[in-house]
Amino acid sequence: MSATASAAPAAPASVTVPPLNLPAAYAELREELSAELLAVAASGMYVMGAKVTAFEDALRAYCGCKHALGVSSGTDALLVAMMALNIGPGDEVIVPTFTFFGTAGTVSRLGATPVFVDVEPDTYNVNVAQLAAKITPRTKAVIPVHLYGQLADMDALLAVARPRGIPVIEDACQAIGATERADGGRMAGCFGEFASLSFYPTKNLGAMGDAGALLCNDDALHETARLLRTHGENPRYYHRLIGGNFRLDAIQAAVLTIKLRRLEAWTAARRERAATYTHLFVEARLAPEVIRTPVERRGRHTYHQYVIRAPRRDELTKHLTARGIGWGVYYPLPLHRQDCFANLGYQAGQFPVAEQAALEVLALPMYPELTEVQQRAVVEAIRAFYHA
Ligand SMILES: *Cc1c(COP(=O)(O)O)cnc(C)c1O
């Protein structure tokens, strides 16, 4: 044990740290939420309606984008965006290989072809130079993902996409509230034609079930997306387009409207906890000696996840589980190596940065309710593994 590490007060071995603590977030808002949930129950208006419109208005104002459409999930937001852009068989959509499955699965569901590219080694966001090299006349959209809560390199990406007239769909499912500068500027969702947000319960703004939103900065595309959300109908039972049921429930909108007011405070709390982790890792001589802590390269990182790079990661996770410390691996297999995309003909080793990341990334418990005692227990458990 190093002198520096032993100077830090050791956390009691009995401290357990769950990977998430969703009931705590509910407890904080219990009275406000309960009243709203009962009001929706009594109203009889369960799908769409005034609660959804009110949430869309609040969300649009918060994000600073032109339009916001409440939809059934983040995945469906991506799907509706591509349907509005008429993407289908014969079209290509460029996506990073290191992301949640939905980013690329939605492309395939429309009969189009996801074209994978590698990511940057420090932010895990799309490598824009590689993306530029993959553009063909069939490229109908590009989907940068703001992974873990940090913006992709949107200046570079827009410089590639705009002159070629290629629509940009931001996958902002993990990045609500991320801004281009530490002190503000444009928010995630304001750069492209479209942006998807997810309100899956574990996201920074979480519903009590599935929910999402489609942000849009173009009037005509927004109107098309709005029709597609409800089977392309206007007026009712007259269908101009073939859409689907991508509607948002009133109960989710009511919950999200209340929680949105807390989001800035929660983001600040996440950022404080990220700074604490990084400080503790340096103090324990784990960073930069053994592990790598997250970098903040572009603007305000919202720390949807606090992700370290850890050698011998899979052994480390067993050690953490044994000590009651939660963790997550996002993601263990890049998309170009997934069985369902085998027909696309990608090879192992083709995207070395993503493949190495898949072996090393480790997300630590990160939520506004996380205490410093718990954070010390996490760091102490990792120190005990490497400096045994
Ligand atoms: C969560 C997530 C999605 C999908 O959101 P759902 O609401 O779960 O459908 C898409 N992309 C990324 C990067 C995500 O993290």
* Cα 13 to averaged position of ligand 1 atoms, centre (Å): 35
CATH code linked to domain 27-260: 3.40.640.10
CA distance 89 to 302: 36
Type of residue at 277: Y
pLDDT beyond 50 at 8: no
Centroid of ligand 1 to alpha carbon of 239 (angstroms) = 29
164 Cα–ligand 1 center, Å: 28
* % of the chain beyond a pLDDT of 70: 97
Alpha-carbon torsion 52, 54, 55, 57, what sign?
A: positive
The CA 292 to ligand 1 mean position distance, Å, reads 25
Instruction: Output the average pLDDT for the chain.
Output: 95
Residue 77 alpha carbon, nearest atom of ligand 1: 9
* Ligand 1 neighbours (beta carbon < 6 A): 73-75, 99-100, 102-103, 145, 171, 173-174, 198, 200, 210, 212
Q: Which two tokens stand for residue 143?
A: 């989907």
CB proximity list for 155: less than 8 A, separation 6 or greater: none
The Å distance, Cα 223 to ligand 1 centre, comes to 23
Domain extent listing, the chain = 27-260, 263-386
**Please, which residues bridge with residue 161 across strands?**
none
Give the mutation target among 20, 72, 73, 75 for probing the ligand 1 site: most ligand atoms within 8 A of CB.
Answer: 75
Q: Which atom of ligand 1 is nearest to the CA of 211?
A: 7
Higher pLDDT, 159 or 3: 159
In this prediction, residue 12 has a pLDDT band, given cuts at 50, 70 and 90, of low
Q: How many CB atoms lie within 10 A of CB 220?
A: 9
pTM recorded for the entire structure: 0.95
Per DSSP, the three-state class of 268 is helix
**Spacing, Cα 143 to ligand 1 middle (Å):** 13
Distance 99 CA to ligand 1 centre (A): 9
Task: Tell me what the mean pLDDT of segment 311-319 comes to.
Answer: 98
**CA 79, CA 75: separation in Å to the nearest integer?**
6
Q: What is the pLDDT of residues 200-222, one digit of tens each?
A: 999 999 999 999 999 999 999 99
Q: Report pLDDT for 323.
A: 96
Instruction: Determine the pLDDT at residue 281.
Output: 98
Instruction: Please give the angle made by the CA atoms of 162, 175 and 197, to the nearest 5 degrees.
Output: 80
Ligand 1: atom nearest CA of 304 is: 15
Enter the CATH code of domain 263-386. Answer: 3.90.1150.10
Report the nearest-CA residue for atom 2 of ligand 1.
173
Contact 368, 26 (CB under 8 A): no
pLDDT at residue 14, rounded to an integer: 80
pLDDT, tens only, 53-76: 999 999 999 999 999 999 999 999
pLDDT at 379: 98
